[in-house]
Amino acid sequence: MPSEAHQNHLLIIEDNKGRREFILDSPVYSIGRDPKCDIRLVSQFVSRRHATLVQLPHEDGGHYYRIVDGNLKGKTSANGLLINGRKLQAHDLEDADKIIFGPQVYAIYYMLKRDAVVTIPPVDNEFEDITLISPNMVGDPEDDEGDPSDSEDD
């Protein structure tokens, strides 16, 4: 089984409701004030359908997210998106990007990468070569010199 990188996409929202974390794994997310949005922003200063996150395939076999202002039908938000200090219509998200939706309403995107853990099934005689250490074998070698209880016949 080959080792492959796993990605966890995380969006941390800060708004009038406080701080919330969303693990992203769906192909599309609607973000906004509307209670029907996948990620709801609690603030009167954001649009009902403020932005959309779209999952796109990455050339390494994984995926990434693009944030688009407004909905996917072309209707943009009133405030727009301020991403890392720049007003943008769309942006391919990168680790630690900060998205400002309105006054005191923002998100930080994190892409956490880790290598897959490859598990190997145990071999029948796997433990034949393990040397067990007795507690009296551990310590300062100078203290053990001449100690009769430390014979090799144990």
Q: Is 18 left (phi over 0), alpha (psi -120 to 50) or beta?
A: left
Q: Which of 64, 63, 72, 74 is nearest to 30 (CA)?
A: 72
pLDDT greater at residue 150 or residue 104? 104
What is the mean pLDDT of the segment spanning 14-20? 97
| Percent residues over pLDDT 90 in the chain | 63
Q: Which amino acid is at 139?
A: G
Domains of the chain, CATH where assigned: 5-115 (2.60.200.20)
pLDDT at res. 44 = 96
Question: Token digits for 113?
Answer: 């990468």
Task: Count CA within 13 A, CB hemisphere, residue 57.
Answer: 3
Residue 125's pLDDT band, with cuts at 50, 70 and 90, is: low
Hey, which residues does 30 pair with through a beta bridge?
Answer: 52
Q: What is the pLDDT of residue 7?
A: 75
Please tell me the least confidently modeled range out of 38-42, 108-112, 117-121: 117-121
Region 131-153: what's the mean pLDDT? 56
Using the predicted structure, report yes or no on whether residue 146 has a pLDDT greater than 60. no
**Would the pLDDT of 132 be above 50?**
yes
Residue 58: band (very low, low, confident or very high) from pLDDT cuts 50, 70, 90: confident
pLDDT in tens, 83-100: 999 999 999 999 999 999
Q: Which residue has the higher pLDDT, 145 or 42?
A: 42
Banded model confidence at residue 1, pLDDT cuts 50, 70, 90: very low
Task: Indicate if the pLDDT at residue 42 is higher than 80.
Answer: yes
